[in-house]
Amino acid sequence: MELKNYIAGEWVEGELQTMPIINPATGEHLGTVPLSTKTEIDAAVQAAKKAQKEWALLPAPKRADYLYEIGFKLKEKKEYLAQILTKEMGKVIEEARGEVQEGIDMALYMAGEGRRLFGETAPSELANKFAMSVRAPIGVVGLITPWNFPIAIATWKSFPAIVAGNTFVWKPSNETPMMAYELAKIFEEVGLPKGVANVVFGTGPTIGTAMIEHPDVRVISFTGSTATGSKVAELGGKHLKKISLEMGGKNAVIVMDDADVDLAVQGIVWSAFGTAGQRCTACSRIIVHRDVKEELEEKLLKEMRAITIGNGLDPDVKVGPVINRQALEKINHYVQLGKQEGATLLTGGHILTKAPYDKGFYFEPTVFTNVSPNMIIAQEEIFGPVVSIIEIDSLEQAIEVNNGVRFGLSSSIFSRNVNTIFKAQQLLDTGIVYVNAGTTGAEIHLPFGGTKGTGNGHRDSGQAALDVYTEWKSVYVDYSGTLQRAQIDT
Ligand code: UN1
């Protein structure tokens, strides 16, 4: 399949260079993606700008009607989309279905916002005067999305943007462009007015930069690595853009001495090795109380023996490939580093090179133990199926270790003690906290995001996402028929 950009409601062919789309499970060539330039970004921004005036004037419940239709289409195509998602990204089919479901949920949830988008009314300090705040759309927004959740994260950003009256230009990841192409087809099928949604394929340095620098793009919403996010913020800051960033994580599961260890092990396996560890919410540290460490290690190893690795289209497979060769090498680099740092390799640690794994990019689920909190493998985001066990002997120490990293996305605690749990949820410094569940599985109607190196204070999802795509406008209506001066005529 040769993908095309979707600009102003047209599928645009250009004399562009292309890049292959590869199935990470098999190495199969799935198609090509165009590598666009500033010219295509300019055209897309112009289309979005032109469409935005009229779109913003359409009542929000009418804008929302399109989102309902998009949600229904996503539902109708759920299986078809999940199959493509597994082929281009590698996540196992059950997770791919879950990801499409996340998009459906977001469409219907944000469609509901069309009849809310609440502002506030407030009493004026003057008689016969009315005061209120309303959410106003901002204009053209630029979206930059990653490959690990190619459809869900796109819906987290684009749906609140359009229900609030903005139009957008979207640069999806080149690793997973087919999902973007499919979503653009849905925009077309439901008759979304031309120019409201534009998709331009290409590289970050070329088209991402062009989008951030474009004077008519007012907001940039980015999800990706902390290194790239920091560049986006720097450039965006220079051009006074509103920048919303979702970046890395170094998420931990804390297992206290009174925990249900069997349940904790299940939560760890699901959140550390699901999606082959390629979630920004993935569990990559286990902070375990010394009294249950041995039991946890034993049970973890037992549970891991049941993990089938392979092509995610096979419903029995639990862990699929990682995205590409570069990722495989990066993960391997961290594993070697862990060994050099003196951590004990409990299981895994290898790239799988023998058939049937030789054509794809597979890394064995890996556990290090006897890891100290300051080792590099316990500090940096690995983004693969690698987890480090760190021993502690109190809740205070567990919190200190959890918080002692530069990221702050997600954390989890397993305990049966209500005091421990409430103390932990207060002191864990992450944007998301789970109790008696792993570190993944955020639901779309709550804010999603993190503290410190994970974000810059904004949130995807939930009502909070609307704050990214709207400006507050305060409106004062004086119906006294006289000049009333605030702060003076008391
Ligand atoms: C991500 O990894 O970037 O909470 C998103 C979760 C998913 C979303 C993850 N609902 O794990």
C-alpha span between 322 and 357 (Å, rounded) = 12
Measured by CA distance, the residue closest to atom 3 of ligand 1 is: 280
Half-sphere exposure of 196 (CA within 13 A, CB side): 26
Question: Beta strand pairing status for 407-408 and 451-452?
Answer: antiparallel
SS3 content of the chain, % helix, strand, coil (to 5): 40, 25, 35
Q: Ligand 1 site: residues with CB under 6 angstroms?
A: 102, 148-149, 279-281, 440-442
Measured by CA distance, the residue closest to atom 11 of ligand 1 is: 440
SS3 category, 471: strand
**The pLDDT value given to residue 15:** 85
**The pLDDT value given to residue 14:** 79
Q: How far does the centroid of ligand 1 lie from the alpha carbon of residue 152, in Å?
A: 8
Name the DSSP class of 192: P
C-alpha span between 421 and 430 (Å, rounded) = 15
- Nearest atom in ligand 1 to the alpha carbon of residue 432 is 4
Q: How far does the centroid of ligand 1 lie from the alpha carbon of residue 441, in Å?
A: 6
C-alpha span between 438 and 282 (Å, rounded) = 9
Q: How far does the centroid of ligand 1 lie from the alpha carbon of residue 92, in Å?
A: 15
Q: Which among 178, 241, 297 is positioned nearest to 45, based on CA atoms?
A: 241
Measured by CA distance, the residue closest to atom 2 of ligand 1 is: 279
Residue of 156, 280, 383 best suited for mutating to test ligand 1, as the one with most atoms within 8 Å of CB: 280
Q: How far does the centroid of ligand 1 lie from the alpha carbon of residue 279, in Å?
A: 6
Q: Which among 479, 381, 473, 471 is positioned nearest to 137, based on CA atoms?
A: 471
**The pLDDT value given to residue 13:** 84
- Nearest atom in ligand 1 to the alpha carbon of residue 249 is 2
Q: How far does the centroid of ligand 1 lie from the alpha carbon of residue 53, in Å?
A: 33
pTM: 0.97
Sketch the domain layout of the chain as residue ranges: 5-247+455-475, 251-435
Q: How far does the centroid of ligand 1 lie from the alpha carbon of residue 440, in Å?
A: 6
Torsion angles phi and psi, residue 77, rounded to 5? -100, 10
- Nearest atom in ligand 1 to the alpha carbon of residue 271 is 11
**The pLDDT value given to residue 53:** 98
- Nearest atom in ligand 1 to the alpha carbon of residue 410 is 4
- Nearest atom in ligand 1 to the alpha carbon of residue 444 is 10
**The pLDDT value given to residue 250:** 98
Q: Mean pLDDT in runs of 10 for the chain (490 residues)?
A: 97 92 98 97 98 98 98 98 98 98 98 97 97 98 98 98 98 98 98 98 97 98 96 97 97 98 98 98 98 98 97 98 98 98 98 96 98 98 98 98 98 98 98 98 98 97 97 98 95
**The pLDDT value given to residue 144:** 98
C-alpha span between 472 and 470 (Å, rounded) = 7
* Contact predicate 70/40, CB 8 Å: no
Residue of 149, 250, 383 best suited for mutating to test ligand 1, as the one with most atoms within 8 Å of CB: 149
Residue of 156, 409, 448 best suited for mutating to test ligand 1, as the one with most atoms within 8 Å of CB: 448
For 5-247+455-475, which CATH superfamily applies? Aldehyde Dehydrogenase; Chain A, domain 1 (3.40.605.10)
Residue of 281, 323, 410, 445 best suited for mutating to test ligand 1, as the one with most atoms within 8 Å of CB: 281
* Contact predicate 264/295, CB 8 Å: no
Question: Beta strand pairing status for 366-369 and 344-347?
Answer: antiparallel
- Nearest atom in ligand 1 to the alpha carbon of residue 442 is 4
**The pLDDT value given to residue 490:** 77
Query: Side chain identity at 180, as an amino acid letter?
Result: A
Residue of 440, 454, 460 best suited for mutating to test ligand 1, as the one with most atoms within 8 Å of CB: 440
- What is the set of active-site residues? 246, 280
Q: Which among 259, 350, 346, 352 is positioned nearest to 311, based on CA atoms?
A: 352
Q: How far does the centroid of ligand 1 lie from the alpha carbon of residue 285, in Å?
A: 17
Q: How far does the centroid of ligand 1 lie from the alpha carbon of residue 277, in Å?
A: 11
C-alpha span between 2 and 31 (Å, rounded) = 5
The CATH architecture annotation of domain 251-435 reads 3-Layer(aba) Sandwich (3.40)
Question: Beta strand pairing status for 251-255 and 344-347?
Answer: unpaired
Half-sphere exposure of 173 (CA within 13 A, CB side): 24
Q: How far does the centroid of ligand 1 lie from the alpha carbon of residue 182, in Å?
A: 20
- Nearest atom in ligand 1 to the alpha carbon of residue 443 is 10
